[in-house]
Structure 1
């Protein structure tokens, strides 16, 4: 009886993806972007999000996938495109719940009197609030939103260990800015 030839064992998809990210990260991430972003963007667009929302969510999903793959904790049971779509859906649902909580805050029914009384330089008022955040938050928000620097560059410039850490810090700074503007808005409406 002759033994049947053994086929070489194929590496799991997560090991293959990890290897691709380690050997040529830019090419691997670009390929993942082209494969998965259109589907994530369509999903978010159909569920009330903008193109900017889709880009932010996909970037966060890609960071999560990347960190799991490099850290060796990624176990793919589907194609990387499908995995990114699942992460994107979860992140978008989380963002929608967060936005829904914020929209329940008490705001006046009629904003016309406030808009009419607002000084013309109110367009620059947000910069005043950014100045009050502190140097670290100010530089991060300006780098990301005004200068449109990638989070990888911001993470390196500010000494964060990972892009995910920079993403979390950016989110915290943005929340501090939103809270500051809300508090000021509520104080102005009470005084009127």
Structure 2
């Protein structure tokens, strides 16, 4: 079997991709995929991982070649191997950050463990915020919900300094915490 010649220049590769994309990509696949597969499988990956990495590398090469941004100093298959190595390294780092044993096999199990907050608890907190009064409610909502800077809150509420607005926000937050604590204690103590 005679192997097809290697793409040695970016211009040749670009011309081949524009003339007959399918044939050019097939040639690249035959030339470079075994190299990428050998690298990925030799570094802890599977054949499926190698295919994913190679396809991503091929897309990058294709976009650069057709866009005229590709500069080859080696063959196209060597370039694809380099891209594949980098992509596989990134994938390994990403996988290392995710604890595999912590994730259940069934995605619906994540939803069951999450214990979403109910409308009841959400409205209970809003009730406590309402009990604080308009000024505290506005300050806390502006800071925590609308994420406004304290300089803006100080100006909107006519405080002389940012420090005064910070102190008032802290006092309002403490009032909210205390009212929630009192309510929680009464619920847990009452039989």
Note closer, same or farther for the CA distance 1:56–1:102 as it changes in structure 2 (3 Å cut).
same
Q: Distance in 2 between matches of 1:100 and 1:33?
A: 29
- TM-score, normalization by structure 2: 0.51
Which residue matches 2:102? 107
Corresponding residue of 2:13: 17
Number of the residue aligned with 1:62:
58
**Aligned ranges 1:31-180 → 2 under 5 Å:** 31-103=27-99, 107=102
CA deviations 1:76-120 (Å, max 9, x no partner) are 01000000000000000000000111127x839xx9xxxxxxxxx
Superposition CA RMSD, Å: 2.5
Q: For residues 30-63 of structure 1, what are the alpha-carbon distances to aligned partners after superposition, in whole Å with 9 as ceiling and x for unaligned?
A: 0000000001001000101011100000000000
User: 2:73 and 2:61 mapped to 1: Cα distance?
Assistant: 13
Gaps of 5+ in 1: 1-11, 112-122, 130-180
Provide the rounded CA distance (Å) in 1 between the counterparts of 2:42 and 2:58. Answer: 20
Separation in 1 of the partners of 2:113 and 2:28?
44
Matched residue, 2:134: none
**1:57 & 1:88 partners in 2: Cα distance?**
6
Is residue 26 of structure 2 the alignment partner of residue 30 of structure 1? yes
Q: State the 4+ residue runs in structure 1 displaced beyond 4 angstroms.
A: none
Superposition TM-score, scaled by structure 1 size: 0.51
Aligned positions, number: 108
